[in-house]
Structure 1
């Protein structure tokens, strides 16, 4: 199996070099000024040669990379089979500094503040404000020329997908970070259109003779029964009726605010603060926390906390603690909000966990942002003395097979090849959790719908998710969302000045009201504070950006 993976990578590298040679090997402009001025084999000279097919390098170079890693992956990326093979085939060694995704942005920001920069971030996870800020001040370098001259795989993608090129290009015309992501589905049926599935323990319902709840009040009664009637039959009062992760990209209780007509959307871990708490209704952009339904939801759900129906660790959970919640010797949770039930419950228990269909008259969120693609992938810093080699190395991840292996797992571990040579997923017992250890990163590479003839990357559980969205959530889903547009520099200055503090304030008050109540007494003061903080100016900017985006689609 190891040999099979090695051959797969070697083939990818070979294809990259052929494409690179065809893309302009006689163009002297590919050389940097230092290459032209000297006959010595400098790093820049090696980079220029590499762009026309000279991997592996004659002399090894070392680059420093700061990476976000999946929570169960080895802390040293050089232990990853894919990275080992990539070093062997390129002769580029990476000194990795890796951090789990929940801590990555804080780690990255400390490095930026200290001025101690790596050669590249893997990925950068910069939001648009940061891309323009660090690009303008030169902390990260424009990638346009590097893509054109040293990244034939990515260039081929951008040449045929002008929409992706436009999506990653800043208002100043520069590309500061590489595109990443997976196209799975489209429109309201894209895989991430509804990131918060509400699941319930069917075995517990059966043990207590309860029916599937169809309203928020019926769900409340079920949670109370789970709390008091010993549904796991162990004679202990150890049941946690509902668990979730507060203010997270998936698993957030804001989904249930939709039962009061106003879904509350949070995206803090990706630092997309400009998307927090936004809804769009008939073309009008609103902040959820200014709507009456938000107040009603906070007041109603506080009673769950007061009555002990909700896991108080929801405010401190990370991946590890949340996944462990469902795997205790005696099953102790009755309902959960998450992306995939098997991540938390495990595949065996997951068989008796089922969807709670949206309640009657509930508004289901249509997730803000893009359609599975992001413009916050790897970025190269000003301290990088070998940007051409770095770009050529990163380009390996934009070959379809390599992108699939990096984002899911190697051939022989996650994938196998069928008779036609297409990559298909192996039988994996718990793919969601397994991916957290087998993947290098979901912050690198592109997997697009026009690649499925080569790479069967749409894993069975992804197709199942799209089917579940269509079956359960689509009929009551919002028709509009706020898109992941690139604002103008002037608009981003307003967002940078106002949105982080406003989002923090909303998140703080939401947590206060859920845990301690008091939203009715605080509401008028809360609204006045939002106005003083500039929420109307912020909405004006978002509305202008949204209107411009819609006009451009016509």
Structure 2
């Protein structure tokens, strides 16, 4: 551990020395403070942690680098970002703010955001190393005009960072009924059937639900089922964007594929038998669901972590990472690209010295910076146990609102996501919070998708076309899903009409555009 701290200290001295050299040309005014000051806009999360200017982590980082940050923090960012862009003078950079890929392309081409691809190799060497190790980072950040207008939020752990979707099944009920966790869709149906008919919570009431989440979260179930039926060939983001890559390396629209009919037939069977809550599409909000979970009525749900179901019930569930189809095959890990956010740090047109900005942020793409950003400092925010593991100090672990928000009182890279940063592994995070890391009956790392794609970049023309087509397709598919799953539409007699309507909306053009994007991505 002492060795790692020496490495951290050395890395900090190198970064600080680089800033000292770079400061000479940073501001035109010649004022010493200006040369060592940068201006950043970031979201305002002061309802749950201190302002950035008062946060322990940023105070420490100023001491390490000699660079002062003038923070402007904004609430309701999505509603205000267009107004901010219209200002005469912009900050040096946007930090942890959400810009869509389409916005990066648009504002980059308008000259509001500076291209960074030529500066990254020299002035962001830690990020550059990550890009060389994982080419999908550079490919996913590069816009159709060949530029990189932003730095990423990234994780090199497929299990971590909110990347990994899985089922969570009630382990108390499994034990009570002498059942094993299901490994395929047939076993899942059988387990849910016993959950809703054999009173596993022991209260003498038929109040047990099989798959149950707050209304509007049916997509979590469907994501796992689509993977079981072979749609997870390009990872979670691809499925969430409604496409997969077939065996001939051709992009296909999921919701017009014959296998989707099988997915909806399976979901219809679950719904018809009462194994999916009848409130799946309407009637239950999040608070009601969490309250029901605390009463031990939830058999199964799907999410990236168990804490979504609330503190009273989260320890009652075990994860299922791999669910195979009815033939016992095709199951694969539902995980995102390592490029979890493509706009974590955006340098604006008004930044006089983008090199210093890149040097300042690049530290957090190193192992030392990753550790500092999440754990902080040994003896202050974390200690090391007898296994050599980092665990937050008691004042964080015992924080009334939980250890994550406890850590957020000192550190920035632990909550809300989308920071410019290499995230630590999920195992390290859980140990830091004083929890046991998740274990799986089937090792998900041995069942990875063929590839894991980030969100594909679009040209301005493609974006304009997709905007209308995608909205109409998504709305129609959402309506069709409810009708097919609940049985209002018949999957045999109504399937052809459904397919015809997709074509009328423009699915063929949608596929043509997406295939062009995928082709560009492969050529990058």
User: What TM-score, normalized by structure 2, do the two folds share?
Assistant: 0.73
1:414-473 residue CA offsets vs partner (Å, 9 max, x unmatched): 6446899x984559989997446535243223338xxxxxx88862759x9897496257
Task: Give secondary structure in 1 for the equivalent of 2:474.
Answer: helix
Aligned twin of 2:315:
350
1:319-376 residue CA offsets vs partner (Å, 9 max, x unmatched): 9759946861x32211222223355475996366353852442533565863355422
Report how far residue 251 of structure 1 moved. Answer: 3.8
Aligned twin of 2:3:
none
1:283-303 residue CA offsets vs partner (Å, 9 max, x unmatched): 121111112222232243234
* In the alignment, structure 1 residue 537 sits paired with structure 2 residue 509: yes
Report how far residue 124 of structure 1 moved. Answer: 3.3
Aligned twin of 1:103:
none
Give the one of 450, 468, 477 matched to 1:506: 477
1:97-151 residue CA offsets vs partner (Å, 9 max, x unmatched): 256xxxxxxx4255326856674543233332221012223443434577689xx
Distance in 2 between residues matched to 1:389 and 1:313, nearest whole Å: 53
Give the one of 263, 279, 298 matched to 1:333: 298
> Are 1:326 and 1:332, in contact at CA under 8 Å, matched by a contact in 2?
yes
* In the alignment, structure 1 residue 82 sits paired with structure 2 residue 35: no
CA gap of 1:348–1:12, structure 2 versus 1, over 3 A, is farther
Distance in 2 between residues matched to 1:447 and 1:323, nearest whole Å: 34
Give the one of 42, 47, 71 matched to 1:65: 42
Aligned twin of 1:280:
245
Task: Give secondary structure in 1 for the equivalent of 2:149.
Answer: coil
Distance in 1 between residues matched to 2:238 and 2:320, nearest whole Å: 29
Distance in 2 between residues matched to 1:122 and 1:311, nearest whole Å: 41
CA gap of 1:358–1:175, structure 2 versus 1, over 3 A, is closer
User: Structure 1 residues 369-378 or 478-487, which shifts more?
Assistant: 478-487
Distance in 2 between residues matched to 1:372 and 1:485, nearest whole Å: 11
Task: Give secondary structure in 1 for the equivalent of 2:338.
Answer: coil
Give the one of 479, 492, 496 matched to 2:450: 479
> Are 1:301 and 1:514, in contact at CA under 8 Å, matched by a contact in 2?
yes
Aligned twin of 1:199:
168
> Are 1:252 and 1:266, in contact at CA under 8 Å, matched by a contact in 2?
no
Distance in 2 between residues matched to 1:234 and 1:457, nearest whole Å: 36
Distance in 2 between residues matched to 1:98 and 1:11, nearest whole Å: 37
- CA RMSD of the aligned region, Å? 5.0
> Are 1:273 and 1:503, in contact at CA under 8 Å, matched by a contact in 2?
no
Aligned twin of 2:127:
157
Distance in 2 between residues matched to 1:388 and 1:319, nearest whole Å: 47
Report how far residue 491 of structure 1 moved. Answer: 4.6
* In the alignment, structure 1 residue 364 sits paired with structure 2 residue 337: no
CA gap of 1:313–1:62, structure 2 versus 1, over 3 A, is farther
Report how far residue 18 of structure 1 moved. Answer: 1.0
Report how far residue 538 of structure 1 moved. Answer: 2.2
* In the alignment, structure 1 residue 443 sits paired with structure 2 residue 418: yes
CA gap of 1:317–1:11, structure 2 versus 1, over 3 A, is farther
Question: Counterparts of 1:191-270 in structure 2 under 5 Å?
Answer: 195-213=164-182, 215-244=184-213, 251-262=220-231
* In the alignment, structure 1 residue 108 sits paired with structure 2 residue 95: no
* In the alignment, structure 1 residue 376 sits paired with structure 2 residue 304: no
Task: Give secondary structure in 2 for the equivalent of 1:205.
Answer: helix
Give the one of 84, 91, 97 matched to 2:74: 97
CA gap of 1:11–1:456, structure 2 versus 1, over 3 A, is farther
Aligned twin of 1:523:
495
Report how far residue 410 of structure 1 moved. Answer: 6.3
* 5+ long unaligned stretches in structure 1: 1-6, 51-56, 100-106, 449-454
* In the alignment, structure 1 residue 126 sits paired with structure 2 residue 99: yes
CA gap of 1:201–1:364, structure 2 versus 1, over 3 A, is same
* 5+ long unaligned stretches in structure 2: 1-5
User: What TM-score, normalized by structure 1, do the two folds share?
Assistant: 0.70
